[in-house]
Every structure is written in C-alpha cells, then in structure tokens.
Amino acid sequence: VALPVTVSAVFRAVSSRAGLNAPGTSLTAVVITNPAIATSSLPNGSVGSAYSTTLKAVGDLSGTWTAAPLPAGLAVNKNTGVISGTPTTQETKQVVIGFTQAVSGQKAPSKTLTLAVTTPQPPVITTTNPLPGATQGVAYSKQLAATNGPGTWTTTAALPNGLTLSAAGLLSGTPTAAAMTTISVKFTNDNTGLFATKVFDFTISPPPPPPAITTAPLPDGVIGQAYSTTLSAGADTGTW
C-alpha cells in the first residue's frame, strides 16, 4: 500500500522567438493515498482478565476508529484504536473494524475479525508427590510449579521448622528436626482468583552419624626404618 507522497515541480515559460526563459515557479502537491487497515487478527480475551490491543492502519495514520460489536466489557478508543477493558461474558463476536482518514475523510475498506472471550480455567499444581526428601541441618530448596498463572503461592498449614515458602513457590530453608510429615500449599491465579491446593508427603531424615576413626592401634615404628600407615574412618571421606 502506497504512503502519502509529496511531489514538487518547477515550471518555466520559454519564448520561442527570443529563446528567453521566464523565472521558474515551484509548485508542490501532496498525493493522499487511500487508507487501509493493517490489523489482521485480534487476540482472544479471558473473562475477568484485563484486555488490550491496538488496531493498526497504513497510509496517513491520523483518523478515527470504529469496532463493533465488541464483547461485553470492552470498548474502542476512537482516536487511538485501542480496544480495552475487562471481558465479563464468555462469547465470540465478529467485530467489524472501520478507519476514517482525518486529512481526506476517506474510509478504509472495513475488516471483520473474530474476537473470542473464554472462561478462565483453574490452576493445576503440577509438582509431583512426594516432594524430594530433606536432611536435618542441611540446606534444602525445591521450586513448585503450576499451570494457568501468573499466581501466588501460600501454605495452608504450618511448615516444618526451618522451612519457608516464597510467593513465587520456592520451598527452601534448613530443617531443624527429622520428621515424616506433609506440606500443604495453595496456588492462586493473580487475575482470576481461581486456585488449586495440594498436599505433599515430605520426609526429613536425621543427620548422618559423625565420622568414626576406625584405625586402632597404630603399628609400632623402628628407629632408622621407613614408616608408613594409613588412617581409616571407615566409609567416610573427609580431611585429616
């Protein structure tokens, strides 16, 4: 689609007898092309969630917009072409889009586009049960996951001592006591308020026993002879 074009030309009068040129006159003309609507589709909306999309045109972009019929809760700004609002009903509309060019008053060929509003689905917590186990006195971290966000995580029962759950769903901390317990969580969609809950089995193991030196007794040494023996702490590895 062509854009508005400014054309300039210089005109002179020429005498056929004397071969003389009159002073030139410069004229400028602006060619206005027909406007056209560039938007080819409309994003779907969801009941209860804020919606916004901007209609686009080619050619001279100053003008006024129309869009009808729109789903309940939505409206179009005639000057900016922004369709916005919060849909209130599940429905599908065939929206007729119109644009009128301000400088010429010409109307773009209308377009009919589909705008569907769906009912939001509740979240589903996808982290599997049970949670990976923890060890008393050892730092622990596990990221929980859910569908149909964004949302906020909370607990519905007290966590084991030493652990916390962030709003982003990170379960972390250092458990202070061994236990076989459960962790109850809730994930709430920030836009719709729909939520999901889940109870996880969770095991906190006691800390491993301290290392034990198993070497005993040391072999005797002899003056003047090389000596070597290896100390042992059973299966434990560490630094001597």
How confident is the prediction for the chain on average, in pLDDT? Answer: 88
Work out the angle at residue 171's Cα, subtended by the Cα atoms of residues 167 and 177, and round it to the nearest 5 degrees: 135
Report the C-alpha gap between 231 and 212 in whole angstroms: 11
Q: At residue 197, does pLDDT exceed 80? A: yes
Place of tokens 């406007």: 35
Kindly state the average pLDDT of the residues 28-51.
Answer: 83
At residue 18 the predicted structure's pLDDT band, cuts being 50, 70 and 90, is low
Cis check: omega of the bond before 217, within 30 degrees of 0: yes
Q: At residue 28, does pLDDT exceed 60? A: no
Place of tokens 């119109």: 98
Work out the angle at residue 131's Cα, subtended by the Cα atoms of residues 150 and 208, and round it to the nearest 5 degrees: 140
pLDDT in tens, 108-133: 999 999 999 999 899 999 999 999 99
- The pTM of this model reads 0.58
Place of tokens 């009128």: 100
pLDDT given at position 191: 82
